[in-house]
Amino acid sequence: MSSRVREQLSFLDDDPRGASPVRRQYLEFKRRYPDCVLLFRLGDFFETFDDDARLVAAALDLTLTQRDLGRGARVPMAGIPAHAAESYIARLLAQGHRVAICDQVGPVPERGLVRREVVRVVTPGTLVEPSLLAAEANNYLASLWRAPTGAVGLAYADISTGELAATALAGDDVLDALAAELARLAPAELLLAQDADDAALRAVVPERCRLTPCPPERFHPERARRAVLEHFAAPSLAALGLGDPAAGARGDGPHPAVPALGALLAYLRDTQAAALALLDRVQVYAASGAMVLDAATRRNLELLEGARSGARADSLLGVLDHTRTPMGARLLRAWISQPLRDLARLQRRQAAVAALVDAPLRRAELRALLGQAGDLERLAGRAAQRLLGPRECLALRRGLEVVPAVRALLADPALAPLHPAAEQLDPCAAASAAIARTLADDPPAVFGEGTIRAGVSAALDECRALSGDTKQVLAQLERRERERTGVRSLKIGYNRVFGYYLEVSHAVANSPTDHFQRAQCGAATVAELLDKLGYQRKQTLANAERYVTPELKTLEARLQSAQEEALELERQLYQGLLDTLAAAAPALRRTATALARLDVLAALAEAAARYGYVRPELLAEGPLEIEQGRHPVVERRLPAGSFVPNDTRLDHHDCQIVILTGPNMAGKSTYLRQVALIVLMAQIGSFVPAARARLGLVDRIFTRVGAQDDIASGHSTFMVEMVETAAILRAATRQSLVILDEVGRGTSTFDGMAIARAVVEYLHDHPRLGARTLFATHYHELAELERTRPRVKAYRMAVLEEGERVVFEHRVEPGGADRSYGVHVARLAGLPPAVTRRAAELVRELEQRGPLGAAPEPAPTANGRAPEGTLHPVLAELRRLDVLALSPLEALAKLLDLQERARES
């Protein structure tokens, strides 16, 4: 290494012709990657120059140095040590930069320039470094294309695992569907055509996702088609599942996913070309096979993290995640993010979970084995890209070691539903043996000296013996030189710049020689003696002199060449091993995928067994019936047995809409979410927290939470609430489940109640909708709707009153709450008694004035509606109003108008 560093730096320093060859090489790379921070490998460092150096020094808190590049031209320079590069790169990425890594490739030549290449461009969506990736989540790179017809093509890949998928979205609500897909994937980076100056498209991009504009021609349908066919070596798009005869017939061009996919592949070619080998299959899917969950619903249901705490432990994932491998954890996350609507697939998952629930010993054994499997999936991905380090190879082998045992375990006939996954398991014996045969027991993390086991190559063993000898010879030489010079403290040392040397302290060098030596060669001091003995002074330190002798130089050269030869041999052998592993990568990936699936199934079974879940009966269509349902996350936070279970029934006949009233803190929100979570759990194949459940499949779950409860999103305006509610009313179907929690709360009581009521009436009366709905509200007046709407049922949270004290039983019972109890909650919260007493007085006063101002509720007519003439004019107008036809601004204006009139009267 010493010679290399010296060589590089001297090229930089003293080229008399102005820009040195290294400098010219650097500038050439920089020209090709103008939009990246270019990290240029020089020996043990990645260096940056010029503007990059200024940027990097500021961004990473490094010292900015100046380097003379001949003729007095000085260039700013900042370097990061190569061994710590990953953490620096992570920081650059986090600050929004792209990083091009220009590394030395091939051996260092005797003279001239080292060959260098930009080996990859690191962007948020193209990470492969284990240290930069979260183990428990996928890291997606996505690509979007919008067809002239309005349809959207979406492709995405995780190049650390090899997942590649594509879909087309179309229809009136294409942007909603896209927003939901992007919310599910949470891609790290999204590719868009530079000219796709499409504000609507950009508006649906999640906040934390990096947008990368790409040259528009990459999305050109014909060019993309060719790129896709070439990449997969496929005869036709249809062979890939990307054929779309209907679109072809309409003259709309190819499947809308093709341009997105083509651009994604082109981008990878530029940034991480090795990943292309990994992406050998594209999964074309229809979003219609899965349940749709928009971003707000994902947040409200706390699927992956608690809405307030942001902690995983407070989420459904936190409760269900009993996986033992990182790949299993990622897959469980993916399942929770994408519940299914496919009854057959769900029943297969359920059967597998059931088999593992019923076989607790087998389950424990399986989970113990999985605990040793490691992240085989990402290791397989790195194997395909020839990125594995020696220790990762060993980890791969350890992971494969569990495979035969897992297969044997699953052969049990009682575990028949797991056999399809078991059949995918391949112990990859040849790859495993190659690792065992080739690698040393304790190799370095990054390839280097000592990677290859002794006995693998006779040539390597010989080189090693030689350099081992040389070390002995050096020790002998030191002994001999001590004798020859009479300097007992003389010692051999090594440093990276000067190589081997013989060191003598100044004190000794300046001391007089003994009289025997003086007589022999006439030297008065030790220094003179050394000179006479052929020592050449190499370096003077503060307290010592360093010398070399011709013999030492020869030895050093021998040692170095033996070491270099050995390293080169090790490199070749290691490359051979990487070849073998790359060839095994497809089988490795299949195996990893199967292990991930087994891990998730075992985790769901473990949760079911630990927490007393039952297998829900799933129906293609039908009611939602839950007996003694519980909230999976809330019940875990409470002492065992203290969560109060509740029943639920929602159908299309007489119980389509449940209005749930009750005071604050009584358990309304918990109950609503519990129903949604039970449905969602059932549709990922999990058992559910209930005594019994019969569930007709749901196509979408919508949840909206009134402004005051929705602390997480930050924008608690009435407007947001209304816009979101309007979106539900637009998109919900008969198969949907709608959860409305205190919607209408973000405004004054009168308006809020009016809006809430209008929404419920609409959900009930609209012939297309009929969506099953749970509506929690503290407007107890809403329960009245039960009397005028046949499919509305009123329920309330049971409350025990003991004098001043109010006890919430958390029990749902038929009927409407008769008042709000807000004052009691205020008392519980510790407001001063004077305040709560005054508040209670005010409540009594208000209650005497009756609900909704003065006018008593008119008697219903035969069709269940009050005659218009008897209504307050404001209510009459409200009833006539087509809320969904109004723009949000119009709605607000109308609302203000209504409010003014209501106040006047």
**Which candidate, 307, 422, 325, places its Cα nearest to that of 374?**
325
Q: 200 to each of 211, 287, 717, 720, how far by Cα in Å?
A: 14, 20, 22, 17
CA dihedral sign, ordered 606, 609, 610, 613: positive
- By CB under 6 A, tell whether 261 contacts ligand ADP: no
- By CB under 6 A, tell whether 669 contacts ligand ADP: yes
* Nearest distance from C-beta of residue 741 to Mg ion, angstroms: 6
Q: Which amino acid is at 521?
A: C
- By CB under 6 A, tell whether 817 contacts ligand ADP: no
Query: Whose Cβ is closer to Mg ion: residue 255's or residue 673's?
Result: 673
Query: Whose Cβ is closer to ligand ADP: residue 664's or residue 703's?
Result: 664
**How many amino acids of this chain bind ligand ADP (CB under 6 A)?**
13
Contacts with Mg ion by CB under 5 A lie at 669
Locate 583 and state its tokens.
Answer: 């060839």
Q: Of 62-70, 163-171, 657-665, 871-879, which segment contacts ligand ADP by CB under 6 A? A: 657-665
Query: Whose Cβ is closer to ligand ADP: residue 138's or residue 836's?
Result: 836
* Nearest distance from C-beta of residue 731 to ligand ADP, angstroms: 25
Q: Of 247-255, 387-395, 459-467, 661-669, which segment contacts ligand ADP by CB under 6 A? A: 661-669
Ramachandran region, residue 797 (left: φ > 0; alpha: ψ -120 to 50; beta: rest):
beta
Residue 703 binding result from ligand ADP, Mg ion, none, given CB thresholds of 5 to 8 Å by partner type:
none
- Give the C-alpha separation, 563 to 580, whole Å: 26
Report which secondary-structure segment, H or E, holds 506.
helix 506-510
Q: Looking at 329, 594, 595, 634, which residue binds ligand ADP (CB under 6 A)?
A: 634
Residue 662 binding result from Mg ion, ligand ADP, none, given CB thresholds of 5 to 8 Å by partner type:
ligand ADP
Residue 634 binding result from ligand ADP, Mg ion, none, given CB thresholds of 5 to 8 Å by partner type:
ligand ADP
Contacts of 802 (CB under 8 A, 6+ apart): none
Query: Whose Cβ is closer to ligand ADP: residue 186's or residue 665's?
Result: 665
- By CB under 6 A, tell whether 662 contacts ligand ADP: yes
Q: Looking at 11, 547, 643, 687, which residue binds ligand ADP (CB under 6 A)?
A: 643
- Give the C-alpha separation, 109 to 115, whole Å: 9
Q: 588 to each of 37, 421, 600, 899, how far by Cα in Å?
A: 35, 14, 18, 66
* Nearest distance from C-beta of residue 100 to ligand ADP, angstroms: 51
* Nearest distance from C-beta of residue 825 to ligand ADP, angstroms: 8
* Nearest distance from C-beta of residue 786 to ligand ADP, angstroms: 19
* Nearest distance from C-beta of residue 385 to Mg ion, angstroms: 49
Query: Whose Cβ is closer to ligand ADP: residue 230's or residue 818's?
Result: 818
* Nearest distance from C-beta of residue 712 to ligand ADP, angstroms: 14
- By CB under 6 A, tell whether 740 contacts ligand ADP: no
Query: Whose Cβ is closer to ligand ADP: residue 163's or residue 709's?
Result: 709
User: Is-contact 22 11, C-beta < 8 A?
Assistant: yes
- By CB under 6 A, tell whether 665 contacts ligand ADP: yes
Query: Whose Cβ is closer to ligand ADP: residue 559's or residue 666's?
Result: 666
- By CB under 6 A, tell whether 670 contacts ligand ADP: yes
- Give the C-alpha separation, 336 to 317, whole Å: 7
Residue 237 binding result from Mg ion, ligand ADP, none, given CB thresholds of 5 to 8 Å by partner type:
none
3-class DSSP state of 419: helix
User: Is-contact 604 685, C-beta < 8 A?
Assistant: yes
- By CB under 6 A, tell whether 795 contacts ligand ADP: no
Report which secondary-structure segment, H or E, holds 499.
strand 499-505
- Give the C-alpha separation, 36 to 98, whole Å: 5
Residue whose token pair is 């999305």: 219
**Which candidate, 163, 156, 159, 223, places its Cα nearest to that of 190?**
156
Query: Whose Cβ is closer to ligand ADP: residue 362's or residue 668's?
Result: 668
- By CB under 6 A, tell whether 666 contacts ligand ADP: yes
Contacts of 604 (CB under 8 A, 6+ apart): 320, 332, 349, 353, 684, 685, 686, 687
Residue 666 binding result from ligand ADP, Mg ion, none, given CB thresholds of 5 to 8 Å by partner type:
ligand ADP
Residue 403 binding result from Mg ion, ligand ADP, none, given CB thresholds of 5 to 8 Å by partner type:
none
Contacts of 830 (CB under 8 A, 6+ apart): none
Query: Whose Cβ is closer to ligand ADP: residue 253's or residue 744's?
Result: 744
* Nearest distance from C-beta of residue 315 to ligand ADP, angstroms: 15
- By CB under 6 A, tell whether 307 contacts ligand ADP: no
User: Is-contact 661 794, C-beta < 8 A?
Assistant: yes
Using CB positions, name the residue nearest to ligand ADP: 667
Residue 125 binding result from Mg ion, ligand ADP, none, given CB thresholds of 5 to 8 Å by partner type:
none
Q: Looking at 664, 736, 747, 777, which residue binds ligand ADP (CB under 6 A)?
A: 664
Radius of gyration of the chain measured on its C-alpha atoms: 36
Contacts of 413 (CB under 8 A, 6+ apart): none
Residue 145 φ/ψ, nearest 5 degrees: -140, 135
Q: Which residues bind ligand ADP (CB under 6 A)?
A: 634, 638, 643-644, 662, 664-670, 810
